[in-house]
Amino acid sequence: MIKLLRVDHRLLHGQVAFSWTQELGVDCILIANDDVPNNEIRKTAMKLAKPQGVKLVIKNISDSIKALKSGVTDKYKLFIVVESVADAYSLATAYPQIDHINLGGTKPADGTKQISKAINVTNEDESKLKELVNQGCEIEIRQVPNDKKELYKEMM
């Protein structure tokens, strides 16, 4: 069962690893990212940030979609973390059972605009988020579970 899909450019770090996994009661974290599986430094960092007693799986986006569709993840209370809105969009459109996305942090870059304290999006990101909202996906902005939930659809 997917408990949450989170977009966070830092992927797995203290805030995610502890506050969200405890709040959600998850037993498995899936890092869905095309770089980390082949980047030993980033992979090691993810393993070090993993909370004790929680399984960590690191797969590229395509393999993550295959795993979700195959049912192999069904036995877990799953927390999926991706680095970008584009990755979240890829997963949510390929696997419609993802109906809730948390925007936790996206860094500023050329061509982005800030829509909240920690969220910066491109026009393309906004189009993808609007499409997901129109398909019934709840998209919230919240860095930690104790923050007030802001719904993206109220900002559109």
* Domains within the chain, CATH numbers bracketed: 2-154 (3.40.35.10)
Q: What is the distance between the alpha carbons of residues 23 and 102, in angstroms, rounded to a whole number?
A: 13
Contacts of 85 (CB under 8 A, 6+ apart): 7, 103, 106, 121, 125, 128, 129
pLDDT exceeds 90 at position 19: yes
State the catalytic residue, choosing from 13, 50, 66, 77.
13
Q: Report how far apart, in Å, the C-alpha atoms of 24 and of each of 7, 21, 69, 113 are.
A: 16, 5, 22, 30
pLDDT confidence tier of residue 24, bands split at 50, 70 and 90: very high
> What's the pLDDT tens digit per position in 81-139?
999 999 999 999 999 999 999 999 999 999 999 999 999 999 999 999 999 999 999 99
Q: What is the pTM of this model?
A: 0.97
In the chain, % of residues over pLDDT 70:
100
pLDDT exceeds 80 at position 23: yes
- Residue 105 has a CB neighbour count (10 Å cut-off) of 22
Contacts of 6 (CB under 8 A, 6+ apart): 16, 20, 79, 80, 81, 82, 101, 102, 103, 104
Question: For this structure, is 13 an active site residue?
Answer: yes
Average pLDDT, the chain: 96
Predicted confidence at residue 29, as pLDDT, reads 97
